[in-house]
Structures are given as structure tokens and as C-alpha cells.
């Protein structure tokens, strides 16, 4: 199980209307993953370059959730 006390994202200008939906999607993606090990991380920063302003919210959420999962699981 993964518990996130606070999730915040910083988006480029123009993405403000999408922020709440992206946070929800990222949380849902992370909740759907299988977590086999315990981990405790006080703070994590995951840089995610948005390849395109036209990328779908689903694509962005999948990429960010995958990056968070890699970090939590000890990857780069």
C-alpha cells in the first residue's frame, strides 16, 4: 500500500485548468500499482519535462506515476 500525505505538482503556464484533474489521475495511477515493499520517503521531487502542451492528461499522469514508482522502488 502506498500512502501519500501531500502531492503537489508544478506545471508550466497554461496548465492551471488541468492541475486538479492531473493530481487526481496521478493519485489513481499510483493507487492502482502493486507495492510489494515498505518504503518511507519524507520528500521526493520528480522532474517531468512535458513533451507537449498537447499531451493528454492520461499520458502525463501515466508518466509522472511511473517516475514516482521508480523512485519509491529505488530506481532512478
User: Per the structure block, which three cell numbers stand in for 57?
Assistant: 492528461
Instruction: Please state, as a whole number, how many other Cβ atoms lie within 10 Å of the Cβ of residue 26.
Output: 22
Q: What is the pLDDT of residue 28?
A: 92
This prediction has a pTM of 0.77
As a whole number of angstroms, the distance between CA 29 and CA 42 comes to 20
For residue 58, pLDDT beyond 80: yes
Domain boundaries, the chain: 16-34+45-72
C-alpha to C-alpha distance for 46 and 26, rounded to whole angstroms:
13
pLDDT tens per residue, range 41-53: 777 777 766 656 6
Amino acid at each position: 500500500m502506498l500512502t501519500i500525505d501531500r502531492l503537489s505538482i508544478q506545471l508550466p503556464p497554461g496548465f492551471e485548468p488541468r492541475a486538479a484533474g492531473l493530481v487526481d489521475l496521478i493519485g489513481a495511477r499510483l493507487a492502482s500499482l502493486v507495492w510489494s515493499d515498505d518504503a518511507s520517503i519524507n520528500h521526493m521531487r520528480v522532474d517531468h519535462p512535458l513533451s507537449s502542451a498537447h499531451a493528454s492528461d492520461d499520458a502525463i499522469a501515466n508518466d509522472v506515476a511511473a517516475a514516482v514508482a521508480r523512485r519509491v522502488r529505488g530506481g532512478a
